[in-house]
Chain A
């Protein structure tokens, strides 16, 4: 049921999404560009190629694939992808993090923004929610998939491992968990802050089918996600370790935890946009 778009076309969309991200965080001088840029290819692949979904938003999402963002701080990429795929008007991206906006700092259902099914931001909760949604699908005889994205620093949270134990133990095999494995968290590298060790061995030991991919290679992302869907339905959930570069696509932001939660200044914005050529129309920045 893949959407009929070429890889070249969605690569172009990902560039525009990256433009949106840096423009959004620049406009409000806050937010999290690093992880957002790193996950742009993944979210574009999901919403423009891999998932069956309906931008005429309905909370239950019956008959649709669902996506949950557990690491809610990368809201800029989520909002851009939702807007660019038709959930709401792209002009609304200009309201990000501003008063009276539906685009809160971290995603929420509270303001009724189409496309968001759960609040996230306090880390570690998204896999549990995705499990619940996946089990509701099973009870409803709905054979579509549930996707969830977490960070890697987020794996420090204990609830992640409660959920990691549950999903294989209870055969939640319509669930695809992706880890943004960029090796960075706020206080430095994950190796320094809280070593994850052999993460693949850990998730496999918990009973997940594990895949790895380069999250900044669109061909590989689409191919791996399609493969993951094919591995569902056999009694085990799937975990994808997605190697990304934090800040990918903007050279001076790449690979450093320093751009986790810092907005570019005017000069840095100009420098970033020079590297990201508009493929769709930019939304207008409010005066």
Chain B
């Protein structure tokens, strides 16, 4: 197992803030909008440097999405900022008609996604956003794993033409990816090469997958870990190449098991190479108040649950192998 260490923890939303500033410096057409959550979205630095390119819309997310769509008519590259819940479910129809169907170059940037929002509880902990966004034709969906990757992704989407949903979070998490990385939309990142099982993880679950990989190595299991930062378009080639070797899959995400990364992978497997898959995801429920760590444990999204899922899926793989042999 390749060794990953970190010297610092930071929130991925701060990676967004840093990336937005950099994108703004590189392209004068980059503009930003926020629905009364500037501090939470870490947009202060952009606003300080480019006050005339920032639009405070107040607590009116539907209007924000429409204004963002309009700003593209005239060549602007708008980044909207609010919580993931208010970036998706609250404004689904606005995104669908005025942005996705109209093919507008809007970057929907969503913080405080998933359970790790913590104490505010289920009203704010959206676990359905990846599903909603990936179902929109033409929408690119990205869920980076740490500060550096979120910053790189933010810069990359400014250079990509078309609507994008960028999802990140509230808590501080280890920084373990390179600060000078080039972010390639749609290109999965090989975290660790292995032979026994493919763990496809996204967002905060990538670090948990690394912790799980270390425990699995001690148990003699050689896990391949792949960071699927782009949910759509999915890196189908990377998925198939990995399962050709490992013959079983665990998907890991901070999302409802319905409609998220796991389902995207399952669809690829069932069409091209059916192998056993286990899901590490929220089991079709709402969240609740608690600390991020408590919630990730209670809802089965930590390293320990990834280890359990690997054991289970490997048993299934081996059982299938035996069954095939028996039938010969």
Q: Is A170 an interface residue (CB 8 A)?
A: yes
Complex: how many Å from CA A170 to CA B63?
13
**Tally of contact residues, A, Cβ under 8 A:** 39
Contact check, A109 vs B62: say whether CB atoms are below 8 A apart. Answer: no
Contact check, A139 vs B102: say whether CB atoms are below 8 A apart. Answer: no
Q: Which residues of B contact A110 (CB under 8 A)?
A: 101-103
Query: Shortest distance in angstroms between A160's beta carbon and chain B's nearest beta carbon?
Result: 9
| Residue of B whose beta carbon sits closest to that of A169 | B58
Which one, B63, B72, B103, contacts A163 given CB within 8 A?
B63
| Residue of A whose beta carbon sits closest to that of B70 | A132
Query: Shortest distance in angstroms between A276's beta carbon and chain B's nearest beta carbon?
Result: 33
Which one, B70, B93, B96, B101, contacts A129 given CB within 8 A?
B70
Contacts A121-B97, A128-B67, A166-B63 hold; do A133 and B102 have CB atoms under 8 A apart? Answer: no
Within 8 A of A (CB), among B54-84: 55, 57-58, 60, 62-76, 78
Within 8 A of B (CB), among A104-129: 108-110, 117-122, 124-129
Stretch of A44-52, A57-65, A225-233, A267-275 that contacts chain B: A57-65
Complex: how many Å from CA A127 to CA B64?
11
Known A-B contacts: A61-B74, A119-B98, A159-B66. Give 18 more (CB < 8 A): A60-B73, A60-B74, A60-B75, A108-B102, A109-B101, A110-B101, A110-B103, A118-B104, A125-B62, A128-B64, A128-B67, A131-B70, A132-B67, A132-B78, A139-B52, A139-B76, A165-B60, A170-B55
A-B contact pairs, 25 of them (CB 8 A): A60-B75, A110-B103, A118-B70, A118-B73, A118-B98, A118-B102, A118-B104, A119-B102, A125-B94, A128-B63, A128-B64, A128-B66, A128-B69, A131-B66, A132-B67, A132-B69, A132-B71, A135-B55, A136-B76, A139-B74, A139-B76, A142-B74, A163-B63, A163-B66, A165-B60
Lowest 5 CB-CB distances: which A-B pairs, in order?
Answer: A132-B70, A128-B66, A136-B74, A162-B63, A162-B60
